[in-house]
Amino acid sequence: MSLVTFAITDGIARLTLNRPDKRNALNAELMDAIVASLREAEARARVVTISGQGPAFSAGADLKAVGAMTTEAEFRAHADRMGGLFATLSDLAIPSISVVTGPALGAGCGMVCAGTLAIAGPGARFGFPELSKGVLPALVVPPLVAVIGERRAFHVLCTETPLTAADAFDLGIVTQLSDTPEDAAEALARQLADLPPARLQQIRRLVRASATAPAAEARQLATEANVADRLERNATQD
């Protein structure tokens, strides 16, 4: 059985995590398959939706696989792989939409935070239940802080607060609530895919740069993009 299902139709890539018997827990093979699919979506599609097969979006890291690791090399490979997954989502040239209908915990919630947009249904649940088990949730800290800020991230991580869809929306982990999240994601994906592709990627790049680059650099990128856009439109009108 394939660890992901992936298809592209009319500019929309649809990626589904496909380990339902393991609650889509993230082992090395699944993370590699997700990254490979995201790269293909980036090359061939305008937007990608990400969902989980079965009742969970993702229960987080595959604890059995992590528990079998014993060497520093194995620990580093795991950390690099998961960090690379989050970075791929964060830096993707096209927008991603996470579709969450059930639990998204630990690294699963990290994936939601690292993506561009997220739609949650009534049954969605979010959280980081690691610290009380003696596990340091280090790898999820950067994407979590990026979307909810330092103080709220510290509170969520240390109190292990279970988050409903509404809680996650209030914090900014989720960008839209819907009673029918799959339908809402399809409608949003179609809306984005219908935008001019170059402009969609440009606004994605500008928003990302404004969030991560020094202010002066972000302003310069915005200026250059604005001037190039005006010149292009003037040339078209002549």
The number of CA neighbours under 13 Å toward the Cβ of 196 is 5
Q: Which residue pairs, CB below 8 angstroms and at least 24 apart, start in 129-137?
A: 129/105, 129/160, 130/106, 130/160, 131/157, 131/158, 131/160, 132/160, 137/106
The pLDDT tens digits of the residues spanning 37-75 come to 999 999 999 999 999 999 999 999 999 999 999 999 999
pLDDT at 19 over 90: yes
The pLDDT tens digits of the residues spanning 99-118 come to 999 999 999 999 999 999 99
Architecture of the 4-192 domain: Alpha-Beta Complex (3.90)
- Rounded percentage of the chain residues whose pLDDT exceeds 90: 94
Distance CA 229, CA 232 (A): 5
